[in-house]
Amino acid sequence: LYTFHPAGFSQVNLSMAEVMLEQARMLLSPPGDAEFVDLYCGYGFFSCSLAKDVASVTGIDYDRNAVEYAKNNMKRLQCECRYRFTSAAIEPEILARTLQRGRTGEYMLLDPPRRGTQPGVIETLAERKPAKVLHVFCGAETVPAELKRWDECGYTVQKISVLDMFPGTANLETMVLLG
């Protein structure tokens, strides 16, 4: 369904991609009037899939090419919700400037690189008081520290889903729902 830049990141296990998208949809369960914020959005893997369930989508990724592909994927898939994609680093100061203020009913998904989020990102997101957050981890290394930061901001683990997106390796994708 999606097009993406040849040098960009993409989920490579196509047999599990739909399972991952369905898990995200089930865990977040956004209502129709929700504002969906997709951080590290890439070419719109989650954004395009969840667009049919929400009122609006905001996607941010540092990769300018990926953001252009996300916009094109939304157009090509004829998504009817409002959407806005921005190419920017996912850092506290930039998030504070880029994400619109005053929203209620935000549902967030963040799928950062293996090294995790920058210092202050989780705290900046938690200040917005999203209804639900789905944090996707590419490896187990960052899970304890990132979840501790969420906990310190008042968000607790609601559900966990583990997916074997990399068969034959020890790596797993871990989706953690926080509320």
Show which residues are catalytic.
138
Is the C-alpha dihedral spanning 1, 34, 147, 179 positive or negative?
negative
On the 0-12 / 13-18 / 19+ scale of CB atoms within 10 A, 167 is: exposed
Q: Single out the residue of 144, 146, 172, 145 nearest to residue 39, CA to CA.
A: 146
Concatenated DSSP letters for 23-41?
HHHHHH---TTPEEEEET-
Could you give the CA distance from residue 172 to residue 83 in angstroms, rounded to a whole number? Answer: 30
H helices of 78-120, where? Answer: 92-98
Q: Phi/psi zone of residue 108: left (φ > 0), alpha (ψ -120 to 50 degrees), beta? A: beta
Is the C-alpha dihedral spanning 155, 156, 161, 166 positive or negative?
positive
